[in-house]
Structure 1
């Protein structure tokens, strides 16, 4: 299925790198795929059409309901599990020993979540300050914005949002919330814009909203846990496919795969290289796989996507 054909997703979410994901995953008949970030089911549909058996994982009940309806025609070849992708090792399939040939993690927020005012992700539509990817998340965006210490806000704006004006934004939020708490997305976005001004086409609240969303959903912590669990979820020879959308995630994935695919470690002062006790993977592509210009023209949100793929080695390989 081409990128253009993959658009038939019911308006929920357009899967990125559709052709590349199917090709590099090796999904086909007699393979078991875990789609760790099911979303609207776009990637899962591609795997199912290739003949694979798929388990979709998502912590968002709304996404699960949509995907279940969309993929019902595939019958028993599609199953699902509600939970965070970082805890897929706890799913009944894995616990029963049904290990995967492919584990896909498509990181970030779905288009449906971003475009839904009620979910509180967008600074372009007014909605509650929520930003939770699932109801089990212990905090909302309102909790972060209205209760976290100023130093913690500075930290997430700078580290998660890579926002150079983190201190100014955090100070302005703390000053305003002492008078009146923030309750809506447009209220917060407008206050950030008033604080730092608007320059260029990018909304000034973009980086801060990303940082808040990542803090609410513990996205980097979930990614770190998922990476650690991946070798226990895959069969020997199974493929780990990860799509990232911003530099923090991509650096984490790149470092993990680089370390886990290095057979010998060498440090200054060592008489000779030593075996890497964490050596588990073989990189199938040394560079990240990027979307084509044709895909970006169809789906502008794909422009920052990167796909990295590695294969789990057999024990003592």
Structure 2
């Protein structure tokens, strides 16, 4: 596996929001191949610490190569286990946390993972391959009304009903087994032309359902606010309007309670230079906040 394929998004903006303290304790809740964590590590002193979390074993293996440092601890974990993981390590409060949401290039480019439109492999899309639910189960077992709901709610897909209907109709003949097979069915169902693949929003919705990403994000944000020290920082990069909306609303609710100061009144976007250098950053939206008081 080529571990050099991932380029961390909006690194300078993340570092500015997190406002790294030399002796601080920081969590990268989606450590991936360690790009963001490495930049944080460069700014830490001998007493600083990074806890890198990911539910993807391949990502953790990748991060181990880059983050071979006594100040870094890598743990297989999902967002909802954040507090539990930190307490096991004797950490009650943190100075900053980063969530970099969505699917990584590491996952997309490994066709065996079943995330890519172009993969002839079985539909999978699990970030943690030890879990049982796969994209194949969603596509071939969910009733039409449920498929339509997730395509609409998780994918913002205007043709949700039509695609759900075509999937169910196709299933009467045979199961939909591969990513390429599903992508082609969607392409024929959606009257859309443009730069993005017609299956983008449907694949996104299925991935979110398989990994329960919205439920995990909601719980992870809640635990993060609880764990932050006074003046600690939270930084979230999202790539999907539903995720960004959830983060925005959560920040506003915490601000109304007097728990958080929103640093980014509007989400920060990648620069044109970054998008040119790293096209996968084009849909990134970054929001940040500062903890105002202890719980």
Aligned residue for 1:228? 222
1:18 correspondence with 2:16 = no
How do 1:232-271 residues align onto structure 2 when only pairs under 5 Å count?
Answer: 232-262=226-256
Aligned residue for 2:113? 119
Q: Deviations over 1:193-229 (max 9, x none)?
A: 1223452232221111111011101111111111111
**How far, CA to CA, are the matches of 2:278 and 2:194 in structure 1?**
22
SS class of match (1:310): strand
User: Does the aligned pair in 1 maintain the 2:31–2:53 contact within 8 Å?
Assistant: yes
**How far, CA to CA, are the matches of 1:287 and 1:204 in structure 2?**
29
User: Does the aligned pair in 2 maintain the 1:58–1:84 contact within 8 Å?
Assistant: yes
Aligned residue for 1:67? 63
SS class of match (2:138): helix
**How far, CA to CA, are the matches of 1:199 and 1:288 in structure 2?**
28
Q: Deviations over 1:257-280 (max 9, x none)?
A: 112112xxxxxxxxxxxxxxx331
Q: Deviations over 1:69-100 (max 9, x none)?
A: 2111xx21111111102321110446623421
Quote how far apart the aligned CAs of 1:150 are.
0.5
Aligned residue for 2:283? 304
User: Does the aligned pair in 2 maintain the 1:12–1:40 contact within 8 Å?
Assistant: no
Aligned residue for 2:95? 101
Aligned residue for 2:260? 281
1:204 correspondence with 2:198 = yes
Aligned residue for 1:39? 32
Aligned residue for 1:149? 143
Q: Moved runs in structure 1, 4+ residues, more than 6 A? A: none
CA separation of 1:218 and 1:39: change in aligned 2, threshold 3 A = same
Aligned residue for 1:48? 41
1:27 correspondence with 2:20 = yes
**How far, CA to CA, are the matches of 1:292 and 1:195 in structure 2?**
34
Quote how far apart the aligned CAs of 1:16 are.
0.4
Match of 1:132 among 122, 126, 136: 126
Quote how far apart the aligned CAs of 1:29 are.
1.2
SS class of match (2:248): helix
**How far, CA to CA, are the matches of 1:289 and 1:92 in structure 2?**
29
CA separation of 1:310 and 1:92: change in aligned 2, threshold 3 A = closer
**Structure ID, larger Rg:** 1
TM-score by length of 2: 0.94
TM-score by length of 1: 0.87
Match of 2:270 among 269, 276, 291: 291
Aligned CA-pair RMSD: 1.7
Equivalences, count:
291
Aligned residue for 1:186? 180
Which blocks of at least 5 consecutive residues in structure 1 are unaligned? Answer: 1-8, 263-277
SS class of match (2:97): strand
**How far, CA to CA, are the matches of 2:193 and 2:292 in structure 1?**
49
User: Does the aligned pair in 2 maintain the 1:146–1:181 contact within 8 Å?
Assistant: yes
**How far, CA to CA, are the matches of 1:86 and 1:242 in structure 2?**
16
